[in-house]
Amino acid sequence: MFVVLTFSTAAERDKFEYIFNKYKKLMLHKAYGILGDYQLAEDAASEAFIRIYKNLHKIGDPDAPQCAAFLVTIVKNVSLSLLKREKSHEFQELDEFRSDGFDLEEEVLSRVSVEKMYRLIGGIHEEYQSVFLLKYAYGLSHKEIGGLLGISENNVTVRLHRAKKSLAELLRQEGYVNE
Partner 1 sequence: MNEKEKLLKDMAQKYAESYGRELSDEMSRLSSSGEPYPTKNLEKRVMKQVRPQNRARNLRIITATAAALLFIIAGIRILQPVLSETPDSLGESPLEGFEAIALSFAVPEGFTQSGFEQDREKSVYYFEDSLSDDVVLTMEKSAEKPNTAGLTKLHINGSEAYASSGNGYSLLTFNKDGVLYELTCRYDVNTLMYFGNEIL
Q: How is 65-109 classified by DSSP, letter by letter?
A: HHHHHHHHHHHHHHHHHHHHHHHT-------HHHH------HHHH
Q: Please answer whether residues 131 and 159 qualify as being in contact, where contact means their C-beta atoms are separated by less than 8 angstroms.
A: yes
Q: Which of 3, 122, 175, 179 binds partner 1 (CB under 8 A)?
A: 122
Q: Which of 34, 35, 40, 70 binds partner 1 (CB under 8 A)?
A: 70
Distance between CA atoms of residues 69 and 36, nearest Å = 21
- Terminus-to-terminus CA distance in the chain, angstroms? 63
Instruction: Confirm or reject binding of residue 42 to partner 1 (CB under 8 A).
Output: yes
Q: Does 128 bind partner 1 (CB under 8 A)?
A: no
Helices 65-87 and 2-35: angle between axes, nearest 10 degrees: 60
In the complex with partner 1, the residue whose CB is nearer, 107 or 179, is 107
Selected range binding partner 1 among 74-82, 89-97, 113-121, 169-177, rule: CB under 8 A: 113-121
Please report how close the Cβ of residue 79 comes to partner 1 at its closest, in angstroms. 14
User: Per CB under 8 A, does 136 bind partner 1?
Assistant: yes
- Total residues at the site for partner 1 (CB under 8 A)? 58
CB of 21 to partner 1, least distance (A): 8
Rg of the chain over Cα atoms, rounded to whole angstroms, equals: 18
d(CA 144, CA 133) in angstroms, rounded, equals 13
Q: Where in 87-106 is the site for partner 1 (CB under 8 A)?
A: 104-106
Q: How crowded is residue 146: how many other Cβ atoms within 10 Å of its Cβ? A: 19
Q: Does 4 bind partner 1 (CB under 8 A)?
A: no
Of 136 and 173, nearer to partner 1 (C-beta) is 136
Measured CA distances, 16 to 20, 59, 66, 73, 171 (Å): 6, 10, 16, 17, 39
* Residues found near partner 1 in the complex (CB under 8 A): 2, 5-6, 9, 12-13, 16, 20, 23-26, 28-29, 32, 42, 45-46, 49-50, 53-55, 64-70, 72, 104-106, 109-110, 112, 114, 117-118, 121-122, 132-133, 135-139, 143-144, 146-148, 150-152, 164
